Amino acid sequence: MKLIDALRIVGEEEDRELPVVRWDLVCGFTPMHFQTFLGAHFRRACASQRTEIKCGLFGDFWGNLEKLNGGNVDSAIVVMEWSDLDARLGLRGLGSWAPAALPDILSNVEARARQFLPAIERISREIPMAICFPTLPLPPVSFAPSWQSSPFALEIRSLIASLSLDTARIKNVKVLDPQRLDFLSPCNERFDTKAELLSGFPYKLAHASRLAELLTLLTYPPAPKKGLITDLDDTLWYGILGEVGLEGVSWDLEHQSHMHGAYQRMLHALSETGVLIGIASKNDPQLVKQALAREDLIFPGDAAFPVEASWGPKSQAVERILQTWNIAADAVVFIDDSPMELAEVRARHPEIETILFPKNDYQALNDLFYRLRDLFGKSSISQEDSFRSESIRRASSEALVQPSETFLEQAEAEFIFDFSKEQADDRAFELINKTNQFNLNGRRLTDALWQSFLKRANTFLLSVTYRDKYGPLGKIAVIAGRVQRRAVLIEHWVMSCRAFSRRIEHRSLEALLRKFNAEEMVLDFELTSRNAPLRDFLTELLAGEPTPQCEISRGRVLDFLSKTLPRAAEVAHG
Partner 1 sequence: MDDVQVRLMSCFGAVFPALTQKEILRADHHSVGRWDSVASVTLFAIIEEEFGVEVDLQDLPSLVSFATILGYLTSKSTA
Binding-site ranges for partner 1 (CB under 8 A): 2-4, 7-8, 11, 32-33, 36, 194-195, 198-199, 201, 205
Closest Cα partner for 212 from 130, 138, 137? 130
Cα–Cα nearest to 503, from 400, 393, 418: 400
H/E element, 41: helix 32-45
For residue 130, the minimal CB distance to partner 1 (Å) is: 25
Give least dist CB 57 to partner 1, A.
Answer: 15
Phi-psi region of 278 (alpha: psi -120 to 50; beta: other; left: phi over 0): beta
Residue 427, sorted as left (phi over 0), alpha (psi -120 to 50) or beta, turns out to be alpha
Nearer CB in complex with partner 1: 199/273? 199
Q: Which of 108, 199 has the CB closer to partner 1?
A: 199
- Shortest reach from residue 431's CB to partner 1, in Å: 41
Q: In angstroms, give the least distance from the CB of 8 to partner 1.
A: 6
Rounded to a whole number of angstroms, the minimum distance from the CB of residue 136 to partner 1 is 18
Whether residue 34 contacts residue 201, with contact meaning beta carbons closer than 8 Å, is answered with: yes
Q: Could you give the CA distance from residue 43 to residue 37 in angstroms, rounded to a whole number?
A: 10
Minimum distance, C-beta of residue 5 to partner 1, in the bound complex (Å): 8
Tell me whether residue 31 or residue 261 sits nearer to partner 1 (CB atom): 31
Nearer to partner 1, 4 or 98 (CB): 4
Four-residue CA torsion sign, 315, 319, 325, 328: positive
Nearer to partner 1, 94 or 198 (CB): 198
Rounded distance between C-alpha atoms, residue 425 and residue 448, angstroms: 14
Nearer to partner 1, 194 or 485 (CB): 194
* Residue 462 CB, nearest approach to partner 1 (Å): 46
Nearest-approach distance from CB 182 to partner 1, in angstroms: 23
Taking the least distance from each CB to partner 1, the nearer of 7 and 87 is 7
Burial 298-308 (b: 16+ CB within 10 A, else e): bbebebbbbbb
CB of 188 to partner 1, least distance (A): 17
Nearest Cα to Cα of residue 68 among 17, 22, 106, 7: 22
CA distances for 56 relative to 61, 66, 76, angstroms: 8, 11, 12
User: How far is it, in rounded angstroms, from Cα 207 to Cα 203?
Assistant: 6
Closer to partner 1 at the Cβ: 35 or 235?
A: 35
Closest to partner 1 by CB, 33 or 503 = 33
Burial classification of residue 51, based on how many CB atoms lie within 10 Å of its CB (0-12 exposed, 13-18 middle, 19 or more buried): buried
In whole angstroms, the minimum distance from the beta carbon of 7 to partner 1 comes to 4
Q: At what angle do helices 532-542 and 554-564 cross, to 10 degrees?
A: 100
Find out whether 24 and 68 touch, Cβ atoms under 8 Å. Answer: yes
8 A C-beta contact, residue 182 and residue 151: no
CB closer to partner 1, 36 vs 446:
36
Task: Report d(CA 306, CA 229) in Å as an integer.
Answer: 9
